Amino acid sequence: MLKKLPQGAATFRGRGLAFVHGSHIVVKVCPECSQWNAPRAADTGVCGWCAYVPFCEDVEPVVEIETAA
Ligand SMILES: [Zn+2]
């Protein structure tokens, strides 16, 4: 069974940037090559530059930075 993915904005162990819809991971910024992904490649869940494929285990929710004192 796949673990429950965090929904919405996420990172790959603190690197890159992804957006999760259900079990679908859209790679926005690749954690391997740090490139903004092409929209067509992003929608397929891989990096269009280095063909990085995200692992579900690496996906972590983006921690909102609290600015309120
Ligand atoms: Zn890449």
Q: Which residues of 13-24 are buried (b: 16+ CB within 10 A; e: fewer)?
A: eeebbbebeeee
Predicted model pTM:
0.82
Question: Residues with beta carbon < 5 A to ion ligand 1?
Answer: 30, 32-33, 47, 49-50, 52
d(CA 49, CA 8): 23
Task: Enumerate the domain spans of the chain.
Answer: 8-58
pLDDT at 69 (0 to 100) = 63
Confidence band, pLDDT 50/70/90 cuts, at residue 3: low
Give the model confidence (pLDDT) of 8-55 as tens digits: 999 999 999 999 999 899 999 999 999 999 999 998 999 999 999 999
How much distance in Å is there from the Cα of 1 to the middle of ligand 1?
27
Work out the angle at residue 55's Cα, subtended by the Cα atoms of residues 26 and 10, and round it to the nearest 5 degrees: 45
